Structure 1
Amino acid sequence: MTHIRDLDPSASPLDYYGAELRRLREAADLNQKQLGSIIYCTGSLVGQIETARKVPTREFSERVDAALGTEGAMSRLVGLVLRSQLPSWFRQYAELEARATYLSTYQAQLVYGLLQTQAYARAVLGVRTEENLDARVAARIERQRILERDNPPLMWVVLSEAVLHQEIGGAEVMRDQLARLLELRRREWVKVQILPFAAGAHAGLPGSFTVLRFEDDPDLVYTEDFIQGHMTANPQALREGSLRYDHLQAAALSVDDSAALIARVMEERYGDQPEADGRAVA
């Protein structure tokens, strides 16, 4: 049994989650092993989460809610926990991203975070260090829940063709990631265009950027360097970002031609032939 230590619930969302899990479990007159058996995990894992040594997943939280009849309390709380695992400099952007009504992004090297598969995200986030990797991946995947809500943001994504060829995590990971991009064609509020190598010099050469638009708040332009992100509502920056994005969209392949290129790269470089509806077959 994991050693029980006192938690200060006010120390962090993770500590609060652990304290609440312990309180609810004890109120149900269950020990860690018994709860673990009910929700299909080990008692040790329950203990690690109760002592804030491990970050809970959304699946774990949903099982706890079902087992203890907590009416979704832990599932709601886990969102705060996972958001707290994002880099401190990124959290404000993630909050604004979740509130935006329209996202337009150009990505020069990587698939945009909201469109990444779990395996692709894991390969990206684990490049420099695997410390706390499970939690960091879970936090990134949690961001994608905004695409599942009843009124998701409209999203227009332009990816450099280099993104398709830069092998991240191996061929299987890339097959699944490109298949994910093709599957997104079923969502009318998500559009993906590929900026082909043939475009030559283009407006995105300075690097990746995202324009966020809101119903009631000023629009923002977001960029990143290797240390942190930068947001601005400066009118000149917004004008420049919007103009560059318009040029990128004009230079990119159409949505249908982009899907055809993704499918071709998927087949020729990573070994799978997608079906007409975007599903990959071995």
Structure 2
Amino acid sequence: MRGLRMMSAGDSAKVHDARGPEAFAQLRELEQQSEQIFHNQLTHLPGLLQRPGYAAGLLGGITGLPGGDAGLAERVSQRVHRATAFEERLRGTDPPHLWAAVDEAALRRNVGGTAVMRDQIAHLIALSELATVHLAIVPFGSGSHPGQIGTFEVHEVADGQSALFFEGAAGDELVVSDQERARSHRDLVKGLVASSVTGSEARHLLEKISDEL
């Protein structure tokens, strides 16, 4: 089985097909080294771009755990740490390119309450102004679209090799061995970004959604 060679702490580490916690652990390594990252999001916003309040509201809703639950607090903390570390990369001297196609439904879903969503949307607007962040909103008016095959992300390293990641109720999955499949999903995101609302128009739509909450 072919794997990706990633550099970690000065040593070579092989990323390979994986499921469950191992898949997510390898994803965490990839997202700090990938040169290009492609997201297709239908039901919620990319974990890498989530604010603490949104992460807490989303995970609480999915798990059904109360706000004071220690396990939930730990999961939220991990997600916040992940997003913070990635934002540092985005604002650093050698940022990755992030391509994110977000369905309007994910933005209209009021996760955590109005104040939380307005904070989250303001964060998206700020990040979308970075040169390497390509945020696209797939509007309701688009009707059915290719991105409806499901939520996923693709991470591409310097030599062009890619890893495809799925997150779902059945467990996380990382696919490295099927490069054709990874490239197909990458190109799907590129197509959605090219045909959807981007740039200043996306920021205007985000502001409109925030005002309507």
- Matches for 1:80-229 after TM superposition, within 5 Å: 87=21, 89-127=23-61, 128=63, 129=65, 130-144=69-83, 145-149=85-89, 150=92, 151-216=94-159, 218-229=161-172
- Matches for 1:2-81 after TM superposition, within 5 Å: none
Q: Which has the higher strand share?
A: 2
Q: CA deviation at 1:141?
A: 1.3
Letter paired with 1:124: L
TM (norm. structure 1) is 0.61
Task: Find the residue that maps to 1:188 and give its secondary structure.
Answer: coil
Matched residues, percent identical?
30
Distance in 2 between residues matched to 1:245 and 1:217, nearest whole Å: 16
User: Which position in structure 1 is the counterpart of 2:193?
Assistant: 249
Distance in 1 between residues matched to 2:192 and 2:128, nearest whole Å: 20
Task: Find the residue that maps to 2:155 and give its secondary structure.
Answer: strand
Task: Give the number of the structure whose alpha-carbon radius of gyration is greater.
Answer: 1
Q: CA RMSD in A?
A: 1.9
Q: CA deviation at 1:247?
A: 2.5
After the TM superposition, list the runs of 4 or more consecutive aligned residues in structure 1 that deviate by more than 4 angstroms.
Answer: 86-89
Q: 1:243 to 1:190 in 2, by over 3 A?
A: closer
Where in structure 2 are there 5+ consecutive unaligned residues? 1-19
Preserved contact between residue 104 and residue 155 of structure 1 (Cα < 8 Å): yes
Preserved contact between residue 192 and residue 255 of structure 1 (Cα < 8 Å): yes
Q: CA deviation at 1:157?
A: 1.1
Task: Find the residue that maps to 1:132 and give its secondary structure.
Answer: helix
Return the structure number with greater relative CO, CA threshold 8 A, min gap 6.
Answer: 2
Preserved contact between residue 89 and residue 228 of structure 1 (Cα < 8 Å): no
Task: Find the residue that maps to 1:183 and give its secondary structure.
Answer: helix
Q: CA deviation at 1:146?
A: 2.7
Is 1:240 aligned to residue 180 of structure 2?
A: no
Distance in 1 between residues matched to 2:52 and 2:187, nearest whole Å: 33
Q: 1:142 to 1:267 in 2, by over 3 A?
A: same
TM (norm. structure 2) is 0.79
